[in-house]
Structure 1
Amino acid sequence: MTRSIHEPSAHGLKGGKGFTRILNSARYSMQGLKAAFLNEAAFRQLVLMNLILIPIACWADVSRAERAILIAAPLLSLAIELLNSAIENIVDRVSMELHPLSKQAKDMGSAAQFVGLVIITVCWGVILL
């Protein structure tokens, strides 16, 4: 199959080479964070949770390794929420039709976030209690 001269290639959509690619990737990441913050209530709630937990982790009388875990767990939950939101957006972009596989994909994304919240609870509970 031949590609049309007007059809973009995957390489053309990558955003450049070398340092330009790094700058473009950083810009795309910031756009993704902004979109998540503006459009996803769950992401905003997790940002608030991070704004509370991370300073507490910095203040807590724990080892450096424990502090790293106390900070990493909530940040991991933010990353999971970004992926969960991406899954939901892709599913909705493909079709708004109710379909068992669409529901399953969205439910699995939600389950991943639930596991992330359990990780936070376990890490904070074990270290601080």
Structure 2
Amino acid sequence: MTIFQVTLKNCAFYAHHGVFEQEKALGQRFFVDVVMDVEAGDALGSDDIEQTVHYGLVYELVEKIMTGSRRNLIETLANDVALGLTAWSPMIRRVEVAIRKPSAPIAGILDYVEVRVEHRN
């Protein structure tokens, strides 16, 4: 069995996730990385997009989850993205989702808070 990796890096979404009222009301930008180990099947030989994981559709699914229902925790959000992707395609053998929150309400200087979740099929 051949496995290849597909990565979507630094996808940006505006959403209203967070525990605090200000986060819920104002929203903020979130950045998402998705790394998928994909079972190759016939894709590498056939050169047919129907035989692989279409990363444009992956982006659309991530966007739907990120901008859909509001969550308090980015941990829950990352888990929902990972579960959504593995449920969507059995070709995805492993997925790692990282979500970065650059405007985390922390009294300190930092670039962002990041959470990573990994699921395997």
TM over 0.5: no
* Structure 1 length-normalised TM: 0.28
* Structure 2 length-normalised TM: 0.30
Which structure is larger by alpha-carbon Rg, 1 or 2?
A: 1
**Higher-RCO chain (CA-CA 8 Å, sequence separation at least 6):** 2
> Higher strand fraction: Structure 1 or Structure 2?
2
> Higher helix fraction: Structure 1 or Structure 2?
1
